[in-house]
Structure 1
C-alpha cells in the first residue's frame, strides 16, 4: 500500500516568494487536501520556544493532584480540564464507546471573543478558566493561540486562492469562530495500565470543523493516518505543524478536500515511561455560518444538505462525551 501524500510545505515561499512560488504553494496545498487531507507546514512562524514554554506550563498543571485539577473540570466542548475517561472520539454519526474512552486528559482554552449575539456567546464564548496554581499558563496559551491564528488565516487565504474564490472568502466566514486550543496529555503506560481492546490515546476519528493545526511530539504511541483501509505512521518533521481539515471543510468544498480518519496509538510496551503532550488548535467556521456544498467545478458531491456550523459542532461534542 502507498502511504498518504502528506507533503512538507514551506511557508516562506508563500510569504516571500514571487508569483510563481506562491502559485506553487497554492497548488501543493490543493493537491494535499484532495489526496489525503493532510500536510506539514514548515517555517510557519510560531515560536518553538513559545510552544516549549506552553508544554512546560501544561505539564505543571497536569502534575497537580486530582482534587486540585477537579476545580477546573469541564465537559467535552467546554473550557477547562477534561479528565481521562470522559471522551471517546469517533466518526460522524457514531456514538462514544463508553467502554473504551480515549487514554488522555486535556486542558481546553477558547478564543476570547464574542459574536454580539447573547445566546450564541453564552454557549460558545464563555470565559476561559485559568488555574491559579499555574499562573503562567494563561499568558503562554494566549500568546500561542494568537500566533497560530495568524497561520490559520494564511491557510484560509491559500485555500481561497486554490478554489478561485479570492483570499478573503473563507476569512469572512470564519473570523468569528471559536478557535479552540486543546492541550492533550497522553500518560505513560505505567500510569494507565494495559489498554483495553480497541482503546487508543485518541480513538480513530475525523476532526469536526475547518482546520486543525497540531504541534505534536513523536513517540511509540504515535500519530497515524488511514488510507484505503490501512493505517500509516504520519511523517514527523521537527518544528513543523501537522495540518488537516475537518468534516465541515470537506462538506463545504463538496468533498473536493477530504476529512481523513486518524488516531493516536495507545501507550506501548516498548516505552512504558513515555508521556506525550500535544498542542492542538482547532479552527472553526462562524458558529452561525451555514455550510452548503460548493457546486462544480469545485465540489464533487452536492447531495449533502446545508448545516449550521455551531449545531454540527454541538452534536459532535455530545457524541464524543462519555458518561
Structure 2
C-alpha cells in the first residue's frame, strides 16, 4: 500500500489485530504509523466497549450538569490537579498554544485514580474526587466501570504502538504500573442556554493533548471536533458511531522523537442555526507512571531529539497554562 492511498485518519479493527496473521498486523501497523505521522489520530473499532455504557454515563452526567450552579458549586475543582466539577469560564485551552481566546464554552466533570498507597503498593480504592453528587447516584459506579474498560484498552493500544515502532511489546506499558489518568466528561451546553459565542470563542480552543494517548467517545455536531493537518488545514473529524477516536499527545510525540504528531484539534462553537445543540464527550487521558522520564527515541525511529521531561510534571505544567479559575 502506497502512503498516498492510506487514509489520513484510518479505522483500525482491534479484533483483526488480535486474531489476524502477521500480514494483517503488518498492514495495520503501516496504517497506524502513517496516520500518527500525518495527523496523530486514529479511529478504532472492535474495542469491546458496549454502547450502552457511554450512553448511560451521558444520561447521568446531563442530569448533573443541568442542575443550577449553586447545586454544582460544592463539587468545584479548585486548583490544578484537583478533580470534580469545573464550571463556565474555567479554562481557555487555546492558551496552551499562546492563543488568547475567550474562555471555552464547556463545563466538565473529571475523575482520577485515588492516591498511591506506598505501603499497599497500589492506588487507594475508589476514585477522585472523594465527594460525588448524590443526584444522580449512578454517575460514580458508571464512571468506575468505564475507566476500568479504558485502562484495559489503553494498555492494548500502547502495545500496538510499541509493535508499530518495532520495539518490545512492553516498551510503553512497563511505565504504566501506576499511571496517571483522567476521565473528563465535557458538557457543551446549548447556546440558547448560555448565550451566543463571543468572537474567537470555542467549545474547546486549538491545542494538542499533553500526555501519551487520549481515548474519545464523542457525539457529532455542527459545533463539533475538527482536526488540523499540514496538508489539509482544519477539517471536520471523521465520525463512526461504532468507533472510538484515538489521538496521541505531547509525551508520545516527544517519546517518538516527532516521528508521530501530537494530534492538533479544536471543538467549534455551534453556529447560529444550531442554538439547541448540546453535546457530551467522554475523554480519557492516559499518561504513564508520574516519575517516568520521557526521552526521545534516537534515529532512525526518532527525527528530533527533545530534552527529557518527567511525565506528571510536564502534563501539570501544561494544564496550568490553560486554567483560568
TM normalised by structure 2 equals 0.91
Residues 172/3 of structure 1: CA separation in 2 closer, same or farther (3 Å cut): closer
1:111 to 103, 110, 113: 113
Q: Distance in 1 between matches of 2:298 and 2:94?
A: 28
The secondary structure found in structure 2 opposite 1:180 is strand
Structure 1 residue aligned with 2:156, among 150, 154, 157? 154
* Partner residue in 2 for 1:266: 269
The residue that corresponds to 1:25 in the other structure is 28
Q: 1:79 aligns with which of 70, 79, 83?
A: 83
Match of 1:210 in 2: 212
* CA deviation map 1:8-51 (0-9, x unaligned): 11111012222222232222211211111001011211110011
Shift of 1:93: 5.9
2:222 to 220, 223, 240: 220
Are the counterparts in 2 of residues 54 and 140 from structure 1 also a CA contact under 8 Å? Answer: yes
How far does residue 52 in structure 1 lie from its aligned partner after superposition?
Answer: 0.5
Map 1:211-290; keep pairs closer than 5 Å.
211-228=213-230, 230-290=233-293
Give the deviation of 1:111 after TM superposition.
Answer: 2.2
Distance 2:12 2:80 in 1: 32
Q: 1:48/1:76 Cα in 2 relative to 1: closer, same or farther (>3 Å)? A: farther
Q: Is the 8 A contact 1:4 1:35 kept in 2?
A: no
Give the TM-score, by structure 1 length. Answer: 0.92
Aligned to 2:63: 60
Residues 72, 142 of structure 1: alpha-carbon distance in 2 compared, 3 angstrom cutoff: same
| C-alpha spacing 1:179/1:148, structure 2 compared with 1 (3 Å) | same
Deviations along 1:128-158, whole A, 9 cap, x unmatched?
Answer: 4321121101110010111111111111001
**Secondary structure of 1:224's partner?**
strand
* Pairwise CA distance, 1:182: 0.3
Instruction: Count the aligned residue pairs.
Output: 315
Does the aligned pair in 2 maintain the 1:72–1:80 contact within 8 Å?
yes
In structure 2, the partner of 1:90 is 94
Q: Structure 2: any 5+ residue segments left out of the alignment?
A: none
> Structure 1 regions of 5+ residues with no counterpart?
none
CA-atom RMSD in angstroms: 2.2
User: 2:310 matched to 1:308?
Assistant: yes
Deviation of residue 112 (structure 1)? 3.7
Q: 2:208·2:249 contact (CA, 8 Å) conserved in 1?
A: yes
Counterparts of 2:164 and 2:17 in 1: how far apart (Å)?
13
The match for 1:133 is 135
1:101 corresponds to which residue?
Answer: 103
Q: Tell me the distance in 2 between the aligned counterparts of 1:154 and 1:260.
A: 20
How far is 1:86 from its partner?
0.6
